[in-house]
Chains A and B, each alone.
Chain A
């Protein structure tokens, strides 16, 4: 139930519902989209970016908050640890226990490597667990990897590294098969055909799902498999610094127990960064849909030893974060709500855009509707527009919501809003890190040997924007391949003499560039305690 202040607008939405369902809003032209993005998308707000003064991406612009953490002091100095006596000595060290890390671990162990996962919270406390909507793969007869390629390349503004995108789309069906054979329960019809839907920017219905717990279903299955294989998982332990050898190759990491702050050394022949995203950096003050540990640590770890970033300035603001009630402000309302037929409606009950434009366009369009056109609704925590969920039941039949998006229903029901009967209020939320560390097709960074990256910490697979469902896909495709390749590479690797000399070198660069800062990084966790 909504309070009095919402009722007038709510009435307008209800009255227009039948007509709005029938309406097929026009898609924007390429030119209209460009103009909209340039004026309203947060990535284009010049005053929100800082030029990096040091490091491999010197001269590039990134969000203020990211610049601050990239150009910060290390948490440790070389004297704080004894590299002679590593507590852990493995072939493949995986940093991050999300979907990418778990996939890599399973494949590396399959390849016979001695592998270990370290993760900051528990395995599965990760963005992967939260993905609701689904995972793309071109496995239907009317679809093909080539069509998938065009959708993703265009959606990413023609900036993806094509060899990475080729791998993503061509390995996609095999990734789904692998997951299914591990026991992931995809939505299927009685004959076993995958039930698939559109996502923003797709030209074929290729979104596979496990209700709206797609990520959770994938993550818990991968976690169960990691545990079945008895792969060591060191939880509540963060990587705080990478270790190189005398030839500049990656050779391990310094770890920190999150509770006791004890430092430990892990020596490894190859290292995979699978630390995920950065929502908890709250770029431009946006709320976020991400898990508690999404603080861009992997980018910092890589950057300090000289690994290059690609498209670190591009973030994804998911168009539909919850704008009401306050308790779930910023939490994700899955795109599947729109895939199933709900449209975006302004305060006057008008549909103001096609519901399945790409995310960046949709987010910019909502920001324009609220801020430039004053057609938003004041929610108490800011502005928002309606997402007319009851349309879903009208279009798909009664019961569709409980069958296809039970998690969404539950999230709002807790606060007395029944999304089958009442629409919900939404506004963009910081959702995904499009950019990240620059890799080659095999997953190794372009300029630090034996350092691999997989998952949301990678940049370049999607270009400057990512389509829904392509991220769960990339963590599986590139997670698996990083695991295999890192295991293979480890076979022919002898770890040299470990050193942390890069820390002092980086300190010197900070000083030479005249940067004055108290910040230390990686951030590890946001600070939410009231001071």
Chain B
């Protein structure tokens, strides 16, 4: 038999089986979700949720699709949070630390309270990646923030009004485009294709009867 627990969705009490995620518990309670539900598997950040277990001092944050219900859980979803996203041109953007001063100067007002890190639904060291961004160490910021799903929970807790996921997004794009080493074999291959190096080979495949294609496929050499 299923074990039932009490959960309070926006303050209203429902009994739901204890093996459900918060998202499935809402559906069990009868909600037809439109907002606050995207990938249903921890990748899109649509289902940011805050909760408190009755009696606990601590307010916790999570992804509703990734978190099991608990008895006496008070749940409020945060399907939208007004983040600041600055517009820039990736082709001409300044790739030094000054870019943060231009676009997201509020990061320099961080008071080091660590509320963002404590709240992160992905368990990231958010305060640390903001510190890297302040210093213009975009490679470290990119690495530290890589698993961010941009749910915005950290920003909802920040006294300095920082839009952490957008800061990290900028750092990752600068790192990916400008700072990471260039890929030589990729450039070469693009050029070879432009030069028509493979055209004849491909055109031969376009014409080959299916039986010959089968032969080719079934006897192809497979890299170890």
Contact = CB atoms under 8 A, between A and B. Distances in A.
B31 A529 contact: yes
B51 interface: no
Contacts of A69: none
A185 B218 CA distance: 35
Contact of B183 (A144, A163, A188, A406): A188
A492 interface: no
Interface centre among A146, A180, A230 (most CB of B within 10 A): A146
Contacts, number: 219
B214 A530 contact: no
Given A166-B206, A529-B31, A410 B182 contact: no
A529 B220 contact: no
Interface stretch (B39-47, B70-78, B129-137): B39-47
B198 A170 contact: yes
Q: Which of A163, A227, A527 has the most CB of B within 10 A?
A: A227
A142 to B, nearest CB: 7
A138 B206 CA distance: 18
- Name the residue in A154, A217, A527 with the highest tally of chain B Cβ atoms < 10 Å from its Cβ: A154
A448 interface: no
Interface stretch (B4-12, B22-30, B107-115, B155-163): B22-30
A410 B123 CA distance: 10
A192 B182 contact: yes
B105 interface: no
A213 B182 contact: no
Contact of B90 (A142, A182, A236): A182
B89 A192 contact: no
Contact of A183 (B42, B150, B177): B177
A292 B173 CA distance: 28
B34 interface: yes
A125 B205 contact: no
B181 interface: yes
A174 B193 contact: yes
Interface residues of A, number: 84
Contacts of B221: 203
Nearest to A525: B34
A125 B89 CA distance: 24
B216 interface: yes
Contacts of A194: 183, 185-186
A216 B217 contact: no
B175 interface: yes
Contacts of B217: 150-151, 153-154, 158
A525 B185 CA distance: 43
Contact of B190 (A121, A151, A177, A190): A177
A216 B149 contact: yes
A529 B30 contact: yes
Nearest to A147: B220
Interface in B157-204: 169, 172-177, 180-187, 189-190, 193, 198, 201-202
- Residue from B181, B189, B193, B198 having most chain A Cβ neighbours under 10 A: B189
Contacts of A184: 176
B223 A203 contact: yes
Contacts of A326: 19
A240 interface: no
B42 A530 contact: no
Contacts of B202: 145-146, 149, 166, 169-170
Interface stretch (A5-13, A218-226, A343-351, A481-489): A218-226
Given A139-B186, A203-B223, A259 B180 contact: no
A289 interface: yes
B183 A193 contact: yes
A331 interface: yes
A121 B38 contact: yes
A268 interface: no
B177 A125 contact: no
Interface string A205-237: 100000101011100110011011010000010
A7 to B, nearest CB: 20
Contacts of B149: 216
A125 B42 CA distance: 11
Contact of A180 (B176, B184, B213, B216): B176
Interface string A410-444: 11001000000000000000000000000000000
A227 B170 CA distance: 12
B85 interface: yes
24 contacts: A121-B34, A121-B46, A130-B43, A130-B44, A139-B189, A144-B198, A145-B193, A153-B213, A154-B214, A173-B190, A182-B176, A183-B173, A185-B180, A193-B183, A204-B223, A213-B146, A216-B43, A227-B87, A228-B88, A293-B38, A525-B32, A528-B24, A528-B32, A529-B32
Given A150-B216, A530-B27, 11 more contacts: A125-B39, A126-B39, A158-B210, A158-B213, A174-B190, A177-B187, A181-B177, A186-B183, A291-B38, A327-B68, A529-B31
